[in-house]
Structure 1
Amino acid sequence: MNKVTEQSSNYDKLEELTIHEQLTAMNKEDQLVPLAVEAIVPEITAFVEEALIRMKRGGRLFYLGAGTSGRLGILDASECPPTFGVEQGLVVGLIAGGDAAIRIAVENAEDNTELGWEELQKMNIQKDDIIVGIAASGTTPYVLGALEKANAAGNLTAGITCNPDSPLSKVAQHGLVAVVGPEFVTGSTRLKSGTAQKLILNMISTSLMIGLGKVQGNKMVDMQLSNAKLVIRGANMVAEQCGIEFEEAKALLLEFGSVRKAVLEYNG
C-alpha cells in the first residue's frame, strides 16, 4: 500500500530554512487539514447518528490507538466528564502499552493484534458499546485486531485514518479518512494527521454530548465546577439565564452544584 502519510514532504532541506520560513511552511500545510476534514463531514455524520442511538440505549464510546493517536483519544475521553458532567467511563481512551505509554513509548505494544480486544473485554464490553480505532497509517495491528473482534461481536465501529484504502478504512464499518497529504517532516504524523484526528474527535464527542442533552443553547450546563474559573463561568451562565445578579447566581450555583440544577431551582 502506498501510504500518503509516508510520502516525502513537499519541502526539503528543512535545516537550511530560516525559522520564519519553517513556521510559514508548516502553517501553510496546516491550513489543508480543516479542508480534508470538511470533505468527510457526511461520513462523520453517518457515524455519529448511529453512535447516538446506541449511547441513548446505554452504550459507551471507546477510543483505541497507539502513540500520538492513542494519546489523542485519551485526551478527548478525559475531557468529557469535566466539560459535560458525564460519568467517568462513558467515554474511554485506550492506548497500546497502557497508561505508561501516555508519556513514554512502549516498544512493540502496537504490533499485538490481540491486545486491544483483550483490554476492551476487561472493560466488560457490551453490544451497544461503540469502538473507534485511531491510526494515521491505518495499519496499526493493535487497532485492527480490536475492530475485527468488535465487528464480530456486533459493536458499532469506526476508524479514523489519513490513508485512503488502508486496512483500517476497510475493516471499520465507518471509515473516516481525512487525507491531509504528506507531512512537513516526512512521516511525522503527529503533525497534520494528528491535527485532523483531534478535529474529528472534537466533532464526534461534542455532537454526541449535545445529542445526549449535555448542552443547552450553547452552554455547558452540566460542566464540573472544578476550579475558580469554571465557577465564574457557571455563575455568569446562571445570571444570564435567570436574569439575576452575579453574586446571587454564584450562590445558587454553589448550592446546587451545576448550572442546570441552579437554573431549574430558581425557575421553580
Structure 2
Amino acid sequence: MKITESTSLYDNLDQMSVNEILTNINNEDAKIHVAVKSQIPKIEQLVTMLVDRIKRGGRLFYLGAGTSGRLGILDASEIPPTYGMPHGVVVGLIAGGDKAIRKAVEAAEDNIHGGWNDLKKFNVNQKDTIVGIAASGGTPYVIGALKDANANGLLTACITCNPDTDIAKEADIAIEAIVGPEFVTGSTRMKAGTAQKMVLNMITTALMIKLGRIKGNKMVDMQLTNKKLVERGSKMIMDETGLEYEEAKRLLLLHGSVRAVLDNLKSNAS
C-alpha cells in the first residue's frame, strides 16, 4: 500500500474535541518541512537546469490531477503578476481542463494519453520542462505525459509523496517528499498537498530570483493590478531613492514598474 493511502496514525477522530483535532493536525504538519528539506538537492538540480533552459526560450509546464493539478495552476498563475514574467513561461495544466479547477471531472486522471495531448496544444519542444505532480505517484494522466515527454527529448521531473513510484521512474529528476500517513486516511489535500505547495514555492521563487526578477529582496517587476500593490511599489521606490510618497507614486504610475522607475532615475543621474 502507498504511504499516502495508509491508515492514519490517529483513530476515533469523530470522538476528539476540536482542540484535539487541531493539535493533532498541527503535530502532523510539523513533519512536512523535514520531508521537503530532504529533497533540497533534487530541487536545486531542477532549478539550476530550469534557469538555463528558460534563458534559452524554454518553458515550465506543471501537470497534475485534482489537488495536485490545482496547486500547479495556482503557482503558475501567480508568476506574471508577482514577477512580471510573460504569460506562458510557466503553465499549469490539470486533467479535465479548466473546468476541473473547481469541480472534479470524472475519470480524467485515468486517461494515460490526456496529459501529452494537453501538452501538444502548446507545441512543446526540447527546450521545455515538464513537472508532473502526483501525491500518489500513480496518476495515469501524469505518467503518460512524462513518458511521452521523455520520448520527445524534453526534461522531466516529478513531485510525489511516495517512494519508488511509477511517476518517479519516468522522471529525470524525482522529488519525493515523504510526509507519512494523512491525519484523515488518504486525504492528500492535507500534508501531501502542503508539501507539494512548499516545493512549488521553492522552485519558482528560486527560479525567478536567478532570472533577475528580484532586486535585493523586492518584487521590482510586479504588476500594478490593485491599490495595495501600487502602495507597495511606491514604498519600494521611497526606500531606494528617498523620494516622498506622492512623487514615488507618480513615477511608478508613469513608468509602470519599480524597476522601470529605478532604471530611469539611474539613467538620468549618469
Q: Would the TM-score normalized by the shorter structure come out above 0.5?
A: yes
Q: Which amino acid aligns with 1:117?
A: W
2:98 corresponds to which residue? 99
Q: Does 1:4 align with 2:3?
A: yes
1:256 corresponds to which residue? 255
Cα distance in 1 between the residues matched to 2:254 and 2:125: 37
Q: Give the root-mean-square deviation of aligned CA atoms.
A: 0.6
Residue 170 of structure 1 aligns to a residue in which SS?
helix
Cα distance in 2 between the residues matched to 1:184 and 1:73: 23
Cα distance in 2 between the residues matched to 1:126 and 1:11: 47
Q: How does 1:217-232 map to 2 (within 5 A)?
A: 217-232=216-231
Q: Does 1:266 align with 2:265?
A: yes
1:33 corresponds to which residue? 32
Residue 158 of structure 1 aligns to a residue in which SS?
strand
Cα distance in 1 between the residues matched to 2:172 and 2:120: 20
1:246 corresponds to which residue? 245
Residue 78 of structure 2 aligns to a residue in which SS?
helix
1:69 corresponds to which residue? 68
Count matched residues: 267
Is the contact between residue 242 and residue 267 of structure 1 (CA under 8 Å) also seen in structure 2?
A: no
Percent sequence identity over matched residues? Answer: 60
Structure 1 gaps, min length 5: none
2:187 corresponds to which residue? 188
1:160 corresponds to which residue? 159
1:140 corresponds to which residue? 139
Residue 63 of structure 2 aligns to a residue in which SS?
strand
Cα distance in 2 between the residues matched to 1:184 and 1:46: 31
Moved over 4 A (4+): none
| Residue 34 of structure 1: how far off its partner (Å) | 0.6
2:108 corresponds to which residue? 109
TM-score of the superposed pair, with normalisation by structure 2 = 0.98
| Residue 126 of structure 1: how far off its partner (Å) | 1.5
| Residue 216 of structure 1: how far off its partner (Å) | 0.9
TM-score of the superposed pair, with normalisation by structure 1 = 0.99
Cα distance in 2 between the residues matched to 1:227 and 1:116: 35
Q: Does 1:235 align with 2:234?
A: yes
1:45 corresponds to which residue? 44
Q: Does 1:120 align with 2:119?
A: yes
| Residue 76 of structure 1: how far off its partner (Å) | 0.2
Q: Which amino acid aligns with 2:207?
A: L
Q: Which amino acid aligns with 1:83?
A: T
2:89 corresponds to which residue? 90
Deviation string 1:92-114 (CA, Å, 9 cap, x unpaired) is 00000000000000000000010
